[in-house]
Amino acid sequence: MTDAVLLSACRTAIGTARRGTLRDTSAFDLATVVVREAARRSGVPPEEIDDVVLGESLAGGGDIARYAALQAGLTHVPGLAHNRHCASGLASVATAAGSVRAGMDRVVIAGGTQSSSTAPMARRRIPGSDDWQDPWMSPSHVPTPEAPNDDMGLLVGWNTARIAGISRAEMDAWALRSHQRAVRAIEEGRFVDEIVPVEVTGRGGATSVFDVDEHPRRDTSAERLASLKPLHPEIEGFSITAGNASGVNDGAAAVVVAGADVAARYGVEPLATVRAWASVGVDPVRTGLAPVLAIRKALDRAGLGLGDVDLFEVNEAFAAVPIAAVRELGLDAARVNPFGSGCSLGHPIATTGTRMIVTLAYELRRRGGGVAVAAMCAGGGMGSAVVLVA
C-alpha cells in the first residue's frame, strides 16, 4: 500500500460574503481556479489525473467537481461532489487519500468551494398539502429546541459554551487573538505561497486581482467585541455574538493527492503525507465537542499521540469550539490556530477543511517537517480530523 502524499496545494484568498470582493464570483468559477492551479503546481501531466473530488455546501446540488474538471481542461476526468457539511473540505481529501492508498486511483485533485454570496435558496412542497416551505434547507437531523437545524449559533456555539463552561470573556479573548494572529500572518507574507490570485470583474466592468484575505479586522479590540449584542438576547446568559463566531465567506481550495510512487516518478517533493483521518458522530447538541473525539480517533489510527503533534488547527466555527478542544485534550493553546481561523480568516463552509490542510502543509514545509492536525465540527453532530506528517 503506497502512502498518499500532497503534491501541491493552493487556495484563493477568502472574501467576505455579500459585500466583499468575491460577491459576484460563483462557487463554480472559484472551483475552476483552484483545480486548474493545483493541477499545474503538481508537476504531474494532466492525463495522469484520475478524479476530482470537491466539497460543496448549499451550492444547489449537481456535480460541481465535474464542472470544474471540464473548465480546467480535464475532459477525461470525472468528478465527485462531496457533502459533509462544514467538514466537506476535509472529507474530500480523506476520500482522495483513501482511494490512492487502496490503489484504485493514482492522482486525485481534492478540495472544496463555497460562494455564500451566490448560494441558491431552495423551496419544497410540504408533504400532505399544496403549500410550500420557502426558503427550505435540507435537514441533517430531526430538530429539537436544543438542537435546531437552522441556527448554528445555538446548535454549536451556545451548546458548546454551555456544556464546556466557557465564558463570554474567554470566547471574545480567543476571537481577538484570532484576528491578531491572522493579521500578523498576512503582514509577514505567510499565505503568499498558498494563495492563487483570482481575477475579479466588478459590477462596473473594471477588473482587479484578489489575493489577500479580506475578512480579518485590524481595528477590532477587546472593547469592540465586548460591546456586541448576543445573537439571542431573549435567552438568559446567551454569550454568542457575531464577534466570537466565524464569518460568512467565499473561497476555494484544492490539493493534489497522489501515491508516493507517483511523486518519485515525476521527481516531485511532496508537501506532506496524509497519514490518517477520522470522522465521528455525536448527539447534535454536542456538535461543537465532536472535534475532540475525531482528533483522538485520527491520531490513534496514525499511531501517534497528542504530544507528537506540532501544530493544530481546530476551526473556529465558534470560538467555543477550539477552546473546548484545548481544555478537553490538554493542548498548548499556542500550538492551536497560530495564523487565525474561522473568527478571523473566515469560514467558507465547504472550503475550510481543505484550506486548513493547505495552510498546515505549507507551514510544515517552512518548519522543515513535523506533524499537524486539522479538525472541525460539522452540522448534525459530526466532527472530522486529518493528520499530516512531513
**What residues pair up with 79 in beta bridges, in sequence order?**
52
Any long-range contacts for 144-150 (C-beta under 8 Å, 24+ apart)? 144/284, 146/285, 147/283, 147/284, 147/285, 147/287, 147/381, 149/379, 149/380
**What residues pair up with 254 in beta bridges, in sequence order?**
10, 111
Strands (E), the chain: 4-11, 15-16, 51-56, 79-82, 107-115, 122-125, 132-136, 198-201, 207-210, 249-259, 272-281, 311-314, 371-378, 382-389
Set 10, 86, 215, 343: catalytic member: 86
C-alpha cell at 390: 512531513
Q: Is 215 designated active site?
A: no
**What residues pair up with 278 in beta bridges, in sequence order?**
385
**What residues pair up with 115 in beta bridges, in sequence order?**
250
Cα separation of 88 and 388, whole Å?
A: 17
Set 82, 85, 179, 347: catalytic member: 347
Cα separation of 229 and 367, whole Å?
A: 41
Q: Is 377 designated active site?
A: yes
Main-chain dihedrals φ then ψ at residue 198, nearest 5 degrees: -115, 125
Q: Where are the alpha helices (DSSP H) in the chain?
A: 27-42, 64-71, 88-101, 152, 159-164, 168-187, 222-227, 260-265, 290-302, 320-329, 352-367
Cα separation of 280 and 248, whole Å?
A: 25
**What residues pair up with 373 in beta bridges, in sequence order?**
312, 387
User: 344-372: string of b/e by CB count within 10 Å (b at 16+)?
Assistant: bbbbbbbbbbbbbbbbbbbbbbeeeebbb
> Cis (ω within 30 of 0) for the bond into 233?
no
- Active-site positions read 86, 347, 377
